[in-house]
Amino acid sequence: MSWLPTLITDTPEEGYDLAIKLSRMAVKKTQPDDAARTKMRPDYANDADSLTAVSQVVATNFQTVAAANGYWK
């Protein structure tokens, strides 16, 4: 089974969770080495600019999920 069988969710909250998963999977697929990601984590975990950038990526993914769900109308 695919890790992403659908963009359709029952609620906006589930859609937001999916947006976070999409964002995390992008990092994992871009840097597949677990050790490298673990080593870098302290650098960005305490960097306000990095955390803001993460929020922007999640927001973009949430826009995609919301559109796929007809904005839950």
Burial profile 31-57: b = 16 or more Cβ within 10 angstroms, e = fewer: eeeeeeeeeeeeeeeeeeeeeeeeeeb
pLDDT value of position 48: 96
Asked if pLDDT for residue 1 goes beyond 90, the answer is no
- Domain boundaries in the chain? 12-72
Give residue-wise pLDDT tens across range 5-63: 999 999 999 999 999 999 999 999 999 999 999 999 999 999 999 999 999 999 999 99
Q: What's the whole-model pTM score?
A: 0.91
